[in-house]
């Protein structure tokens, strides 16, 4: 297996499938903090002017990156779309939609793959691209209560009232109090409280 | 002890005269009527004393264990409660030290108030006329003058601007009291007895939209031009050339006392480092509430003080479990529900998690003591926790000793593995910061022992340690903890990354051992 080193000065292309990504220590440090999320300044310090590309590479890797690092990279991508709401064509958005619609993650029922889906859903909510309703709404039916709750929060953050009908419908059948509360909160913010 | 009062003390009875035969409780006229080492006190055979209160009001207990009646009368000078006769107490008379540097004290009539150790806010609430650190205090010259569990120590007199006097306070555990604050920005005095090992202030305001904390802290008798803490600057506008984020952070790290006002609640812990030890006397603290832009707030802070009085090093942990049913990482706990009952028995929890915590903290000189387990299944809004709601969860932390540890399903933002105050409100339960939060979804990609390491890291922050270095230490060498002997190694327990080690320096161990969460 070829190894591709991510480094501050050179990381200009996404690795080909099967290539193993080696992270420089500053990147690992930035993306493994226990009680803080990396700030933009910290990410820039770790990756230099290639932070966005490196984070994309980490987020899209499917073989060699530590899941803990990858989760934080997905979340950290949201630092690199300014201003918000993000453009649908922005590379941050396209990367996150790629992760969120990856069947490996969408079909996951447990484990770190499910956490990746949750990370992508949460991040899409932050970007506030109205059209992401079509990506998020189906996740209200996900088998995982944590994904359903995260989706309700993301739809709340998205602010698109087109999600109201789907949220109401899910609320009617939802049995888990955690998710019902999340949906109720989303509907309240969207102006249609239960 | 007063030179006038001492000769007046009367030896009630000689002791040690064998052969009297009287047992405890038998009547006697002198010690020879009592058996063996017993003494005759008020015509009753009694055991030798260890503390004066065993002899009753108006008696001292001497070094031989004999009760001696006090003869101090109203107006007589005194130094200890045991020098004043029955119905009298030794009280502080003024707020100005005499030529000897001591406050004037004399025997005065007792108040119809509370006994020593009771809570109080003013002297007159106490039977013996002295209220300090929120508790009724008896004046003393020796620990024998104090009730069981108390010790005679030097205490700053707030009403006399910190002049020290000798009084009885608990020798073990913690002392907690409320310091009154009169306005949104006020100066308070924080009295530190000479026996205290650490001191904590918990600042709170009800309006969580406002921040609260200390603006400035001065040591007892410190140089007014050299406070030991000044709140870091705040950039007032984009054109402010005196302060930016980096300058503010530099100011924070440049100080040996680490503190930042926070929304709703914050803590100030002394000491933060062995190189700036706690000094007996009255610290002067300017406390304030703040608006979001750091201007003066309108909320009046509530201030709770906590002192650790002993060298106990046992850490109790109180585990709370939110609803972790059907968790995506349940492979780490046998694909079954993780709750209080399961955690009590499961090997992965007792051995891999609590066992690893024991190992980590034994390296820090601490022992894990009692562990308690409780389900919190009636808070579905907090199962998957958004960090903005952390205060609501932590306020459910009901234990004052030890640390409350909450296991939640998930933490948002994704990637946060743990959350807690730094430092936390040791000894104060039910506040917005009374515990630490651990996200169970970390177990999808880390082991129980790795979760234990990051939990120990967060618990240590609660107890007053800081990251040994911050991520940016290469660019900013001062961005590290205030402890001289902790290095920058990733092997340190306080390394910010989850991939760090469990080492602690002697200085870090010293700070840990002084936390008021320990018993």
DSSP H helical segments within A7-65, as ranges?
25-30, 40-47, 51-60
Q: Going by C-beta distance under 8 Å and a sequence separation of 6 or more, which residues neighbour residue A152?
A: A140, A167, A170, A179, A182, A183, A185, A186
- Say what the pLDDT of residue A8 is: 43
CB atoms within 10 A of CB B246: 13
B519: pLDDT strictly greater than 60: yes
What whole-number distance in Å separates Cα of residue B459 and Cα of residue B316?
Answer: 11
Strands B367-375 and B314-321: parallel
Q: Do B497 and A42 touch (CB under 8 A)?
A: no
- Say what the pLDDT of residue A4 is: 58
- Full-model pTM: 0.93
How many residue pairs from chains A and B have C-beta atoms closer than 8 A? Answer: 115
Task: Mark whether A129 and A61 lie in a shared domain.
Answer: no
Least confident segment among B29-43, B400-414, B480-494: B29-43
Task: Mark whether A95 and A160 lie in a shared domain.
Answer: yes
Task: Mark whether A76 and A96 lie in a shared domain.
Answer: no
Mean per-residue pLDDT for B153-171? Answer: 96
Strands B302-308 and B314-321: unpaired
Nearest-5° Cα angle at B61, B60 to B66: 120
Q: A 73-102 residues with CB below 8 A of B? A: 74-76
Task: Mark whether A92 and A183 lie in a shared domain.
Answer: yes
A126: pLDDT strictly greater than 50: yes
**Site from A25, A26, A35 to mutate, B interface, most B CB atoms within 10 angstroms:** A35
Sketch the domain layout of chain B as residue ranges.
81-174, 175-308, 314-513
To the nearest whole angstrom, how far is the Cα of A33 from the nearest Cα of chain B? 4
Contact assessment for residue A135 and residue A124, using Cβ atoms and an 8 Å cutoff: yes
Task: Mark whether A107 and A132 lie in a shared domain.
Answer: yes
Contacts of A181 in chain B (CB under 8 A): 380-381
Average pLDDT, chain A: 91
- Say what the pLDDT of residue B108 is: 96
DSSP string, B74-87: TT-B-SSGGGBPTT
pLDDT band at B12 (very low <50, low <70, confident <90, very high): very low
Q: What is the CA radius of gyration of chain A?
A: 17
pLDDT band at A5 (very low <50, low <70, confident <90, very high): low
Contacts of B445 in chain A (CB under 8 A): 66-68, 112, 115
Domain containing A118: what range?
87-194
What whole-number distance in Å separates Cα of residue B13 and Cα of residue B38?
Answer: 10
Q: Do B328 and A144 touch (CB under 8 A)?
A: yes
Average pLDDT, chain B: 93
Q: Going by C-beta distance under 8 Å and a sequence separation of 6 or more, which residues neighbour residue B223?
A: none
A15: pLDDT strictly greater than 60: no
pLDDT band at A61 (very low <50, low <70, confident <90, very high): very high
Read off the pLDDT of residues A70-118 as tens digits, 9 standing for 90 and up. Answer: 999 999 999 999 899 999 999 999 999 999 999 999 999 999 999 999 9
- Say what the pLDDT of residue A149 is: 98
Mean per-residue pLDDT for B315-341? Answer: 95
Contacts of B333 in chain A (CB under 8 A): none
A166: pLDDT strictly greater than 60: yes
Task: Mark whether A65 and A99 lie in a shared domain.
Answer: no
Whether the bond between A179 and the residue before it is cis, its omega within 30 degrees of 0, is no
Of A75, A114, A146, the CB nearest to B415: A75
Among A38, A54, A80, the domain boundary falls at: A80
Read off the pLDDT of residues B88-141 as tens digits, 9 standing for 90 and up. Answer: 999 999 888 888 889 999 999 999 999 999 999 999 999 999 999 999 999 999
What whole-number distance in Å separates Cα of residue B62 and Cα of residue B6?
Answer: 12
Q: A 113-172 residues with CB below 8 A of B? A: 114-115, 118-119, 122-123, 144-146, 149-150, 153
Bridge partner list, B108: B89
Mean per-residue pLDDT for B479-496? Answer: 96
A20: pLDDT strictly greater than 90: no
CB atoms within 10 A of CB B87: 11
B3: pLDDT strictly greater than 80: no
Read off the pLDDT of residues B228-280 as tens digits, 9 standing for 90 and up. Answer: 999 999 987 878 888 988 999 999 999 989 999 999 999 999 999 999 999 99
Q: Dig out the tokens for A92 from the structure.
A: 């941050």
Among A52, A80, A108, the domain boundary falls at: A80
Mean per-residue pLDDT for B178-207? Answer: 97
Residue with tokens 């058996």: B35
Contacts of A114 in chain B (CB under 8 A): 328, 444
What whole-number distance in Å separates Cα of residue B38 and Cα of residue B21?
Answer: 10
> In CATH terms, is domain B175-308 a member of 2.60.120.380?
yes
- Say what the pLDDT of residue A193 is: 80
Task: Mark whether A104 and A122 lie in a shared domain.
Answer: yes
Mean per-residue pLDDT for B53-73? Answer: 93
What whole-number distance in Å separates Cα of residue A189 and Cα of residue B25?
Answer: 76
Bridge partner list, B217: B229, B285
Mean per-residue pLDDT for B382-387? Answer: 96
Mean per-residue pLDDT for B24-33? Answer: 92
Q: Going by C-beta distance under 8 Å and a sequence separation of 6 or more, which residues neighbour residue B487?
A: B468, B505
Task: Mark whether A103 and A193 lie in a shared domain.
Answer: yes
What whole-number distance in Å separates Cα of residue B379 and Cα of residue A177?
Answer: 9
B10: pLDDT strictly greater than 80: no
- What percentage of chain B has pLDDT greater than the value 70? 96
Question: Residue B511 is inside which H or E element, if any?
Answer: helix B506-513
Strands A3-5 and B174-179: unpaired
Mean per-residue pLDDT for B368-390? Answer: 97
CA B454 to chain centre: 24
- Say what the pLDDT of residue B242 is: 86
A12: pLDDT strictly greater than 70: no
Task: Mark whether A20 and A57 lie in a shared domain.
Answer: yes
Contact assessment for residue B369 and residue B363, using Cβ atoms and an 8 Å cutoff: no
Contacts of A119 in chain B (CB under 8 A): 414-415
| DSSP code for A129 | -
- Number of separate domains in chain A: 2
- What percentage of chain B has pLDDT greater than the value 90? 88
A18: pLDDT strictly greater than 70: no
To the nearest whole angstrom, how far is the Cα of A3 from the nearest Cα of chain B? 22
Instruction: Tell me the CA distances in angstroms from B467 to A27, B212, B248, B458, one per residue in order.
Output: 18, 23, 18, 10
Read off the pLDDT of residues B438-479 as tens digits, 9 standing for 90 and up. Answer: 999 999 999 999 999 999 999 999 999 999 999 999 999 999
Contact assessment for residue B258 and residue B247, using Cβ atoms and an 8 Å cutoff: no
CB atoms within 10 A of CB B237: 8
- What fold does the segment set B314-513 form as a domain? Collagenase (Catalytic Domain) (3.40.390)
- Say what the pLDDT of residue A11 is: 43
Among A80, A112, A128, the domain boundary falls at: A80
**Site from A34, A73, A188 to mutate, B interface, most B CB atoms within 10 angstroms:** A34
Instruction: Tell me the CA distances in angstroms from B248 to A108, A188, B271, one per residue in order.
Output: 44, 38, 22
A167: pLDDT strictly greater than 90: yes
CB atoms within 10 A of CB B84: 31
Question: Residue B486 is inside which H or E element, if any?
Answer: none
Mean per-residue pLDDT for B311-316? Answer: 97
Backbone torsions φ then ψ of B184, nearest 5 degrees = -60, -30
Q: For B152, what's the count of Cα atoms within 13 Å in the CB-facing half-sphere?
A: 17
Question: ipTM score of the complex?
Answer: 0.93
């Amino acid at each position: 297996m070829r190894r591709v080193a991510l480094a501050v000065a050179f990381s200009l292309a996404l690795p080909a499938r099967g290539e193993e990504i080696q992270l420089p220590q500053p990147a690992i440090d930035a993306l493994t903090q226990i009680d803080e999320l990396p700030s933009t300044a910290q990410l820039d310090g770790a990756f230099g002017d290639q932070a966005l590309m490196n984070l994309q590479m980490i987020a899209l890797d499917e073989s060699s990156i530590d899941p803990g690092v990858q989760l934080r990279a997905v979340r950290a991508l949201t630092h690199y779309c300014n201003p918000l709401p993000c453009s649908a064509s922005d590379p941050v958005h396209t990367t996150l939609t790629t992760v969120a619609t990856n069947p490996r993650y969408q079909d996951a029922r447990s484990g770190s793959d499910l956490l990746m889906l949750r990370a992508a859903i949460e991040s899409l909510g932050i970007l506030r691209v109205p059209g992401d309703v079509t990506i998020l709404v189906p996740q209200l039916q996900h088998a995982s209560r944590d994904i359903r709750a995260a989706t309700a929060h993301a739809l709340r953050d998205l602010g698109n009232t087109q999600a109201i009908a789907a949220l109401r419908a899910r609320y009617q059948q939802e049995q888990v109090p955690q998710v019902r509360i999340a949906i109720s909160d989303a509907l309240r913010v969207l102006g249609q409280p239960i | 002890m007063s030179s006038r009062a001492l000769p007046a003390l009367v030896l009630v009875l000689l002791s040690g005269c064998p052969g009297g035969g009287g047992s405890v409780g038998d009547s006697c006229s002198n010690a020879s009527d009592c058996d063996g080492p017993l003494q005759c006190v008020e015509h009753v055979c009694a055991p030798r004393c260890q503390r004066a209160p065993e002899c009753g009001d108006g008696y001292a207990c001497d070094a031989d264990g004999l009760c001696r009646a006090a003869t101090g009368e109203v107006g007589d000078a005194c130094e200890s409660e045991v020098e004043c006769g029955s119905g009298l107490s030794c009280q502080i008379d003024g707020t100005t030290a005499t030529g000897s540097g001591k406050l004037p004290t004399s025997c005065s009539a007792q108040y119809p108030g509370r006994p020593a150790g009771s809570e109080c806010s003013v002297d007159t609430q106490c039977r013996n006329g002295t209220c300090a650190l929120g508790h009724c205090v008896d004046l003393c010259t020796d620990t024998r003058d104090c009730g069981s569990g108390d010790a005679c120590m030097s205490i700053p007199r707030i009403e006399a601007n910190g002049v020290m006097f000798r009084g009885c306070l608990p020798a073990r555990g913690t002392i907690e009291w409320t310091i009154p604050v009169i306005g949104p920005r006020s100066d308070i005095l924080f009295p530190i007895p000479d026996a205290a090992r650490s001191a904590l202030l918990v600042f709170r305001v009800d309006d969580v939209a406002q921040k609260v904390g200390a603006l400035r802290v001065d040591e007892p008798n410190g140089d007014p031009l050299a406070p030991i803490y000044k709140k870091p600057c705040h950039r007032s506008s984009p054109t402010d050339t005196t302060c930016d984020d980096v300058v503010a952070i530099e100011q924070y790290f440049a100080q040996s006392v680490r503190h930042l006002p926070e929304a709703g609640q914050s803590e100030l812990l002394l000491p933060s480092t062995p190189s700036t030890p706690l000094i007996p006397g009255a610290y002067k603290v300017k406390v304030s509430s703040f608006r979001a832009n750091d201007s003066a707030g309108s909320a009046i802070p509530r201030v709770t003080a906590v002192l650790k009085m002993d060298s106990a090093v046992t850490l109790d942990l109180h585990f709370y479990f939110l609803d972790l049913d059907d968790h995506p990482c349940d492979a780490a706990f046998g694909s079954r529900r993780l709750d209080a009952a399961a955690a009590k028995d499961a090997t992965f929890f007792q051995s891999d998690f609590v066992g690893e915590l024991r190992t980590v903290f034994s390296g820090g000189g601490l022992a894990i003591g009692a562990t308690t387990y409780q389900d919190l299944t009636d808070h579905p809004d907090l199962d998957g926790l958004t960090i903005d709601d952390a205060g609501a969860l932590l306020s459910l932390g009901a234990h004052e000793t030890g640390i409350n540890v909450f296991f939640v399903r998930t933490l948002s933002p994704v990637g946060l593995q743990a959350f807690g105050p730094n430092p936390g409100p040791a000894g104060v339960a039910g506040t917005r910061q009374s515990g630490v939060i651990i996200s169970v979804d970390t177990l999808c990609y880390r082991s129980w022992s790795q979760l234990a390491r990051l939990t120990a890291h967060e618990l240590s922050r609660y107890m007053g340690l800081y990251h040994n270095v911050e991520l940016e230490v290469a660019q900013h060498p001062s961005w590290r903890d205030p402890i001289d002997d902790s290095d920058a190694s990733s092997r340190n327990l306080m390394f910010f990354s989850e991939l760090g080690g469990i080492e602690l320096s002697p200085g870090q161990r010293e700070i840990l051992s002084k936390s008021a969460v320990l018993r």
